[in-house]
Structure 1
């Protein structure tokens, strides 16, 4: 079983042809991805409500797709409306989490606006994937510690801030880590595993921006035990997202 907890759908502003949902489906087919948790690029970089509704139309294309509802901390009234509408009825089975991008939303993770956004997603029972980079992985742990019941997943595991993951893990037991990165440094996954164990690490790819082979190769280089592999590749995600 392989669950990708960090993927996207739609056109990027880079020079690459990945707009079609067929690109997601092809990647899942090629690499044996059983479930892919997807957020809308339009929602992340431009208009969260429009992007969420566009993605809602794409999710039925393949039963392996699950939605991550984009929340813009600057537009929490609109986010609440999205949550009310898209999670209604059988939508709750399709939308399994929320996504917040701290940089594109120009909202520091340490800010009151970010905490309010996590409070909102927590109110609706959604685990929340948050873009972290550098020291912000620790800031996210502090948010998780302050928001009762919050469950947050640090996208990119802080990227260049990965050496601070053990500190983040100590600050809250309600933060998990997903290490996809376009320029990964050698041995970081093995080092983090040796520090915090495998219970809070998950597999993610950043598709369709990055080919899934990059993340798969990074985990292969970590020489996972069978227990570690099962936890990281699917069991932790199953528990957190209820998939």
Structure 2
């Protein structure tokens, strides 16, 4: 079984045929469940994208959603968390720090993450380079907060190792548009394997990239299974068994 904790739903801002891509892509790679954010919510308008995603999720049994929040629009974030989390179709929160121009260390993102902690769900937060260290600091200082470092720092994955070892409520997922040799194996050897997840960045990136990176790491069977789905089940409290 495979659970993809970093995926998307909806068209992108460049020419790309994504109609029907979610299920077709999942079937191609054997992904049982994808947790998705609406591209409209991430890039343009969080409330509008969340609303569209909520309507679509009602038609899909193999997807759960992230409520995307813009840290600069706190009132919208509070309203959407109250409206969508109780439906049971949303498993967590998505924050893209770059598109919203809201660095992890900024006051507004700290406030947004405190709101997430109070809601009791995990947050998938975009990280790149050393920003994953900022996420660890905010997580450690926010009681009850659980965060997933999206892209595990990308080219800054050595920082992700430091971050994960500094905060036991920080999780890592590997999707990245490049595939540096040894990236996943180095991370897996250096951090608690119960805090490693699988993410693809589909439909923006073909899942082949993440699958190849994990396969090349040569992980033992138990670690591979934890990454593939067991850790996600525990983190998101999913009612799923193999």
TM range (shorter): over 0.9
Q: What is aligned with 2:24?
A: 26
* Alignment partner of 1:232 is 2:230: no
Question: How far has the Cα of 1:14 moved from its partner?
Answer: 2.2
Task: Say which of 84, 97, 103 aligns to 1:102.
Answer: 97
Q: Deviations over 1:200-221 (max 9, x none)?
A: 1100000000111111111110
Q: What is aligned with 1:148?
A: 143
TM-score with structure 2 setting the length: 0.96
Question: How far has the Cα of 1:13 moved from its partner?
Answer: 1.1
Q: Deviations over 1:42-88 (max 9, x none)?
A: 00011000000000111133211001110100011111111111123
Structure 2 Cα separation of the partners of residues 48 and 7 of structure 1 = 16
Aligned residues: 238
Q: Deviations over 1:95-136 (max 9, x none)?
A: 000000000000011111111111111111110000000000
Structure 1 Cα separation of the partners of residues 181 and 109 of structure 2 = 31
* Alignment partner of 1:205 is 2:203: no
Structure 1 Cα separation of the partners of residues 186 and 162 of structure 2 = 13
Question: How far has the Cα of 1:175 moved from its partner?
Answer: 0.3
Structure 2 Cα separation of the partners of residues 199 and 112 of structure 1 = 30
- Structure 1 alignment gaps of length 5 or more: none
Question: How far has the Cα of 1:230 moved from its partner?
Answer: 1.0
Structure 1 Cα separation of the partners of residues 222 and 3 of structure 2 = 16
Aligned residues of 1:25 and 1:62 also touching (Cα < 8 A): no
Structure 2 Cα separation of the partners of residues 111 and 50 of structure 1 = 24
TM-score with structure 1 setting the length: 0.96
- Structure 2 alignment gaps of length 5 or more: none
> How well do the aligned residues superpose, as a CA RMSD in angstroms?
0.9
Q: Deviations over 1:117-160 (max 9, x none)?
A: 11111111110000000000111000100100000000000001
Aligned residues of 1:134 and 1:162 also touching (Cα < 8 A): yes
Task: Say which of 131, 137, 148 aligns to 2:132.
Answer: 137
